[in-house]
Amino acid sequence: MAIETSASVPDENSSHLQKASVQDAGPAPLDASKLKITLTQSPKALVPPEQLRFGHTFSDHMIVATYDPVTGWSAPEIKPYAPLTLDPSSSCFQYCTNVFEGMKAYVGPDGKPRLFRPELNMRRLERSVARFALPPLDGDEVLKLIKRFVQIDVRWIPAVPGYSLYLRPTVIGTRAALGVTASDSAMLFVIASPAGPYFPQGLRPISLLAVSDCVRAWPGGTGSDKVGGNYAPGFLPQKIAAKQGYDQVLWLFGEDNRVTEAGVMNFFVIVKREDGDGLDVITAPLDGTILPGITRTSCLSLASSSAFQKENSLRLQTHERVFTMADLAQWSAQGRLVEALSVGTAAIIASVSKIGWKGKDITLPLHEAGLGPVGMALRKKIAAIQEGREEWEGWSIACDREL
Ligand SMILES: *Cc1c(COP(=O)(O)O)cnc(C)c1O
């Protein structure tokens, strides 16, 4: 960066001067070290774990920072959870400049709060922000704030296995003008909601209705980013599926009805190999139509690990490849389709009991435990890593580091 003013001062302070002049010259980046904390004067009563409904209860505090095109990011704050006040002309209301993340904090047997591979959420948040031309945001600074936030609201993580604190980092465009253009102002906020099992019925398998007349995502679109605009168009097909008795939509793409995702989760099938040598673990490739889920990549990584396979007496080969409804129907007819799984942060892994397609159902084998051997092994392993009961490649990050 060519900043002339301080370069001529050859003393040992020159780098400080240079840094100061760079900051004077441009909007400030988000800086977690400037955090201001205001604790609530009236902590809310905790909701008993068994009464929690996903995303209905919020913790005592929230993170907020705002971006001004001239001054840049404000000093971030952790303050009591409260409504926001925004100009009705704000970009987020008019043009949907909203992006978000979904992640969870867990407590382990040692009582310490932990996050699961949070740096992947932060990289994805940075990509979503860039895709919607929102002001640049340093995810590493957001993560420092989130760790502090989780420490402060740790009492909201129910100390019951399978429960966690769902975190919803959000960035919205707050430019208050109607011109159809990128938002040069923004707000970051993070709220937290204590969460139990996503499907209250426990491991009850879910049913899917394959839909080809509505498309969730397409190459060159925004399907691979976690941007608000991707979700509203899915609500009508979801309602139609529910009316026909199915839990979620199975999203297809293209003339050949490629299988992409299920609801707002990634989708896997487990297929007996033709050569009899174990099972294929198959999910769609990241071709722009798929949200790169952290649960998806974790499942792929575990399933391809020989340690994981050995531990569970499984022989697995993982594949990120295109597969179609015709493939599913064929594998099912051949008796080779042993499991179908929906995977994502909220539910971890749910098994699929049937897939409605062209007026018929492709049915999957029922497993007594609610999940088949591969789904169960993955689910147990991921939950153990998340709750800090097992160490795996540094995936679980304690919230007391780096502060
Ligand atoms: C968030 C999301 C997923 C799951 O991603 P995780 O990081 O595993 O929670 C899958 N599909 C869509 C469309 C999503 O929005």
Question: CATH 3.20.10.10 in the chain, residues?
Answer: 206-386
On whether the CB atoms of residues 119 and 143 are closer than 8 A, the answer is yes
Q: What is the pLDDT of residue 162?
A: 85
Question: Hey, whose CA ends up nearest to atom 14 of ligand 1?
Answer: 264
- Hey, which of 216, 266, 298, 302 would you mutate to test ligand 1's pocket, going by the most ligand atoms within 8 Å of its Cβ? 266
Tell me what the pLDDT averaged over the chain comes to.
92
Q: Measured in angstroms, how far is the CA atom of residue 119 from the centroid of ligand 1?
A: 15
Domain with CATH 3.30.470.10 in the chain: 25-195
Task: Point out the residues of the chain with pLDDT beneath 70.
Answer: 1-24, 198-202, 401-403
How many whole angstroms from 170 Cα to the centroid of ligand 1? 15
pLDDT given at position 200: 59
Q: What is the predicted pLDDT for the residue at 12? A: 45
Q: What is the pTM of this model?
A: 0.92
Give burial (CB, 10 Å; 0-12/13-18/19+) of 274. Answer: exposed
Asked if residue 322 lies in contact with residue 252, where contact means CB atoms within 8 angstroms, the answer is no
For residue 72, give both structure tokens. 């840049």
- Rounded to the nearest whole angstrom, what is the distance from the C-alpha of residue 56 to the centroid of ligand 1? 19
Residue 10 has a pLDDT of 42
Report CA(350)–ligand 1 centroid distance (Å): 13
Between the CA of 67 and the centroid of ligand 1 the distance, in Å, is 27
Shortest-distance atom of ligand 1 to CA 296: 8
Do 60 and 80 contact (CB within 8 A), yes or no? yes
Which of 123, 253, 265 has most ligand 1 atoms within 8 Å of CB, for mutation?
265
Q: 25-195 — its CATH code?
A: 3.30.470.10
- Which residue's CA is minimally distant from atom 13 of ligand 1? 264
**Ligand 1: distance of its center to the CA of 113 in Å?**
22
Q: Ligand 1: which of 264, 300, 382 to mutate, most ligand atoms within 8 Å of CB?
A: 264
Tell me if 81 sits within 8 A of 38, measured CB to CB: no
Q: List all residues whose CB is within 6 A of at least one atom of ligand 1.
A: 102, 226, 261, 264-266, 291, 293-296, 344-345
Residues 6 or more apart in contact with residue 72 via CB below 8 angstroms: 26, 27, 28, 29, 135
- Tally the C-alpha atoms within 13 A of residue 273's C-alpha that lie toward its C-beta: 13
pLDDT of residue 17: 47
Q: Give the domain 206-386 fold.
A: D-amino Acid Aminotransferase; Chain A, domain 2 (3.20.10)
Nearest protein Cα to ligand 1, atom 5: 293
Report the separation in Å between the CA atom of 345 and the middle of ligand 1, taken as the mean of its atom positions: 7
